[in-house]
Structure 1
Amino acid sequence: MPTPAVEQAVQARLVLSTRRSALLRVTLRYRADDPLAVRMLFPAEYSLDATGTEEQKGGAEVTWVFARQLLAAGLAGPAGIGDVHVRPALGPQTMVELRAAEGVALLRFDTADLRYFLRLSFLAVPEGEEHQHLDADRALAELLG
């Protein structure tokens, strides 16, 4: 039986300064076999790694993985304590801040796009039922690699 997955391409604005931003396409991804996480995939040219690896130069996407609950909480109020922070912004927008050793990226999304993605993810795996989709043996094998 295939694993339910949700994938949605959305537009985001990468905030470069108080007056400049760049429009980019971001892919949001959720997989039922990793029920606690969401993924944001960015085009390689938006990597925070100034040197850029050969893989990134060849067009590989940059992926950030964080808790689905963080994204949901950030739509209602400021959320996040580590590398990823999500908070409502003025109007129908949500800010996502990604922190890495190389720098900080601030992105602005339409809140409706994020809500739609979360709604689809909750249809795939309802909130509170994530534990029923966890495969602890597979997760441990991947971790120990």
Structure 2
Amino acid sequence: MSTVIEQALQARLVASAPRMDVVPTVLRYDPADPFAVRMAFPAPATLEGVEAVWEFSRELLAAGADAPAGVGDVRIRPFGHDRTVVEFHAVEGVAVVHVRTGEIRRFLARTERAVPSGCERLFLDLDRDLAQLLRDAH
């Protein structure tokens, strides 16, 4: 059984007004899904009033902390000395949050201890995944 890694963050939601709202956010990593991280936003912070969870690659998060990365729905880039910008692109619009880079690096270090980069395939349960895929196909 794998241990899910979670880290609470204080993200600053960038709005069109010149203010930034602080939003409690959780980064989540499950070694059973070793390539992905999830960033969850609480219901009060979303337009729909329900928790929003974005899933993207751990590799993207690591790359974006050092240089602009991503061309799809999630884009990440450094901002200043100690911030990282995460952009979420959806049909409804774009949400932009600032997160402390040190918090991202601490989270990534914890995930590396659980599943070293390059070893993710060793943590996949292909038999289980195939059985689930076949079960879902019926």
Is TM > 0.5 for Structure 1 vs Structure 2? yes
Instruction: Give the 3-state SS of the residue equivalent to 1:73 in structure 2.
Output: helix
C-alpha distance in 1 between matches for 2:40 and 2:30 = 14
What is the letter of the counterpart of residue 120 of structure 1? R
> 1:1-145 counterparts in 2 under 5 A?
2-17=1-16, 19-48=18-47, 52=48, 56=50, 61-140=51-130, 141=132, 145=136
Instruction: Give the 3-state SS of the residue equivalent to 1:118 in structure 2.
Output: helix
Aligned-pair CA distance for 1:136: 2.2
C-alpha distance in 2 between matches for 1:92 and 1:144 = 46
Structure 2: where are the runs of 5+ without partners? none
What is the letter of the counterpart of residue 98 of structure 1? F
Query: Alpha carbon RMSD of aligned pairs, Å?
Result: 1.7
Instruction: Give the 3-state SS of the residue equivalent to 1:115 in structure 2.
Output: helix
Instruction: Give the 3-state SS of the residue equivalent to 2:129 in structure 1.
Output: helix
Identical-residue share of aligned pairs (%): 47
What is the total number of aligned residue pairs between the two structures? 135
Instruction: State TM-score, norm by structure 2.
Output: 0.91
Q: Residues 53-91 of structure 1: CA distance to partner in whole angstroms, max 9, x if unpaired?
A: 7xx2xxxx2110000000000011000011000000012
Aligned-pair CA distance for 1:135: 1.6
> Contact between 1:5 and 1:124, CA under 8 Å: does it hold in 2?
no
Taking structure 1 as reference, are residues 21 and 34 closer, same or farther at Cα in structure 2, changes over 3 Å only?
same
What is the letter of the counterpart of residue 139 of structure 1? D
Structure 1: where are the runs of 5+ without partners? none
Taking structure 1 as reference, are residues 100 and 5 closer, same or farther at Cα in structure 2, changes over 3 Å only?
same
> Contact between 1:38 and 1:65, CA under 8 Å: does it hold in 2?
yes
